[in-house]
Structure 1
Amino acid sequence: MVFDEEEEQQKGEKDLDQIQESDCCGNGCTNCILDNKPQPSKRILLAGKRNILLTYTKFRLIEKATHQTDDQVLLLHFADAGDDVAEDTVLDIPPGHHVMLRMGSLLRPYSPYWSDFRRREFRILVKLQPGGPMSRHLAAVQPNDLLEFRGPIGNYTNDPSLTKCIFIVAQGVAIAPTMPLVRDVLENEEDMSRIWHLVCARDLEHVFFREKLLEFGHSWNYRCCLYLPHQQCDSPGCQEAGHCVAECQELRRSLRYKEVAKVARLDAIELASHMNPSIPGQRTLIVAGDSTFQKAIQEVAATALAIDPAHVYLL
């Protein structure tokens, strides 16, 4: 079959024409589907296939588990329903993009931390919110249940030919969408960008994907620092302070080889400490977290990292 790129783009544009005001979840997302309509990616165009996410599609929940350190955090694995999906379709969720879940009149965006292009599967990390309408639904879903998703939605793209200094700041479960961003750079031998992954979590137990972060640390162009303001052990000094002190030996023993952690919040001084003017490359900032966190980091980074606002991305 001869692939016609123009014909494929016309098909994609037809799907995009179906986006309506009602497709917005109304939560004030940074990357609203009305502002960032899904576009065919380079990978889609090269494959000559259609992205099944361009319209709401049913996916089957094939695995549901709670996180080992927090029973209010769910790991959900989905695969397309399969029976009526054409062979000319794939699942394309570029790094830094999210998908919209629709359950009745409820709409909520979620960012996959893993996806499979040809098998049409993806995984998300969900923090259940007390009293949250969507949280109640997700707490009740079971394997084999069918849920509807649409996307991908986002505006981040990575040019591997451009060397960058990428500062990725993640808050809590919002670390999930940053994982594909890191893999996208580290797995491309032609990408000479460097990554500073600054992870803000309550304590060491709430650092999600910790093993993966340690794996990333084997790469020459990756650095990670954990910020754990509420880390606390049972030692008298730390109990008196209300958190582990800088010289806490119990915390030191809890860290793995080359793992760096600080019992502090990420502020302007800490951000500036990661800035090395001698390292070449375009400065890029990616912030993943709630709107208050995004705004705070964006404000301090403007001076601490001297980043052009055009190179700041909020997930």
Structure 2
Amino acid sequence: MVANGEQQKQDLNVEEELLQDSDCCGNGCTNCILDHKPRPSKRVLLAGKRNVILSYTKFRLLRRETLESEAESKTGGQVLLLHFGHAPEEPGAGTEDDTVLDIPPGHHVMLRIGSLLRPYSPYWSDFQAKEFRILVKLQAGGPMSRLLAAVQPNDLLEFRGPIGQYAHDASTAKCIYILAQGVAIAPTLPLVRQVLENEEDMSRVWHLVCARDLRHVYFREELLEFAQYWNYRSCLYLPHQQCASAACQEAGHCVPECLHLRRSLRYKETAKVARLDACGLATHLNASIPGQRLLIVAGDSTFQKTMAQMATQSLALDPANVYLL
């Protein structure tokens, strides 16, 4: 075990030396790889093994699923579920048993294809099997989107990570507000699970999901499973929800008394046909519930900046307790 610990230190030193300015994707990520260097976690150190993704490593595409086609999306762009598994350079080599895959909740990995770099946040990973899944929305005309649109099962892609700064402390109860936009709901799922699946964690979670309409709310089944826990609350914000009724067509969106929307909702699902704003955020503030208040925002840079500013005041948050994915 001592030898393994020394090897971990050597691996870490090598990784920091190998980190180059070119490892930054240039997209202005909140958690830039240059600021938050990939390093072994406590979980990896306790396992006495090496995190296989600390340097750029090949992963094989095991499954590709189209959740939404470009023709189905009013906003344009396919939504793909991509499932990757580690592809050892020497299959069957004994050293393969000395590695694991550790991507903590709230962290992302960097995909490298040629000179292109893009960050993606896994919503599921397997420590021992060394597999992970990401949800990707392809952008029209995007260089990386064009490449990902063409990838097929058995193709090899390179990833590096994990990159991020969020670390949940279950020792003290907290009020955790998680705001998610569109496909960015995916990486918030493990953040919720780590609270709900820990019986000793008394933290409460408010999961506020912003989507175009009900059809664009991904992972509804998972949200319904979360709703079974006493310390979880969610609300869907659907500003473009619209049915075929005359009243809703005239208004341009479903009206509050829309029966079609009510019937479309499942047990314990709450939805509002509106954008999430400062007033909407304030309705989720319950000053009688004790605990430090944290905010986690997942979405594009504009969504992150806007929500972080609004929530700081509406939810009485300390700016130091705001985390952007």
**TM-score, structure 2 as length reference:** 0.94
The CA distance in 1 between the partners of 2:10 and 2:156, in whole Å, is 30
SS, match of residue 277 in structure 1? coil
SS, match of residue 177 in structure 1? helix
Contact 2:44 2:102 in 1 (8 A): yes
The CA distance in 1 between the partners of 2:140 and 2:11, in whole Å, is 41
Letter matched to residue 36 of structure 1: H
Cross-structure match for 1:129: 139
The CA distance in 2 between the partners of 1:118 and 1:185, in whole Å, is 22
| Structure 2 residue corresponding to 1:138, chosen from 108, 132, 148 | 148
Cross-structure match for 1:302: 312
Deviating beyond 3 angstroms after TM superposition, the runs of 4 or more aligned structure 1 residues are: 1-7, 68-71
Letter matched to residue 55 of structure 2: T
Cross-structure match for 1:20: 20
- Measured after TM superposition, the shift of residue 262 of structure 1 is 0.4
The CA distance in 2 between the partners of 1:282 and 1:11, in whole Å, is 36
Contact 1:61 1:79 in 2 (8 A): yes
Contact 2:4 2:49 in 1 (8 A): no
- Measured after TM superposition, the shift of residue 86 of structure 1 is 2.1
- Measured after TM superposition, the shift of residue 5 of structure 1 is 3.5
Percent of aligned positions with the same letter in both sequences? 73
Letter matched to residue 196 of structure 2: L
The CA distance in 2 between the partners of 1:127 and 1:38, in whole Å, is 25
Deviation readout 1:162-215 (Å, 9 max, x if unpaired)? 211000000000111101100111111111100000000000000010110000
Contact 2:295 2:323 in 1 (8 A): yes
1:162-173 equivalent positions in 2, closer than 5 A: 162-173=172-183
Cross-structure match for 1:293: 303
- Measured after TM superposition, the shift of residue 4 of structure 1 is 5.0
The CA distance in 2 between the partners of 1:39 and 1:267, in whole Å, is 37
Matched, 1:77 2:83: yes
| Structure 1 residue corresponding to 2:321, chosen from 294, 311, 314 | 311
| Structure 1 residue corresponding to 2:251, chosen from 238, 241, 244 | 241
Letter matched to residue 101 of structure 1: L
1:134-213 equivalent positions in 2, closer than 5 A: 134-213=144-223
Matched, 1:67 2:67: yes
Root-mean-square deviation (CA), in Å?
Answer: 1.3
Deviation readout 1:67-98 (Å, 9 max, x if unpaired)? 05657100000001135262110001000000
Letter matched to residue 162 of structure 1: T
Cross-structure match for 1:37: 37
Cross-structure match for 1:230: 240
Contact 1:195 1:221 in 2 (8 A): yes
Cross-structure match for 2:117: 107
Cross-structure match for 1:118: 128
Deviation readout 1:139-177 (Å, 9 max, x if unpaired)? 001100000000000000001102110000000001111
- Measured after TM superposition, the shift of residue 42 of structure 1 is 1.3
Deviation readout 1:94-126 (Å, 9 max, x if unpaired)? 000000000001000000000000100000000
**TM-score, structure 1 as length reference:** 0.97
The CA distance in 2 between the partners of 1:2 and 1:301, in whole Å, is 46
Unaligned 5+ segments in structure 2 are none
The CA distance in 2 between the partners of 1:17 and 1:224, in whole Å, is 43
Paired residue total? 315
| Structure 1 residue corresponding to 2:277, chosen from 250, 263, 267 | 267
The CA distance in 1 between the partners of 2:256 and 2:36, in whole Å, is 43
Contact 2:125 2:133 in 1 (8 A): yes
The CA distance in 1 between the partners of 2:264 and 2:190, in whole Å, is 27
Deviation readout 1:207-252 (Å, 9 max, x if unpaired)? 0101100000001110010000000000000000000011111000
Contact 1:16 1:54 in 2 (8 A): no
The CA distance in 2 between the partners of 1:9 and 1:24, in whole Å, is 23
Unaligned 5+ segments in structure 1 are none
Letter matched to residue 261 of structure 1: A
The CA distance in 1 between the partners of 2:59 and 2:202, in whole Å, is 36
- Measured after TM superposition, the shift of residue 6 of structure 1 is 5.0
Shifted more, 40-49 versus 196-205: the winner is: 40-49
Cross-structure match for 1:87: 97
| Structure 2 residue corresponding to 1:97, chosen from 85, 98, 107 | 107
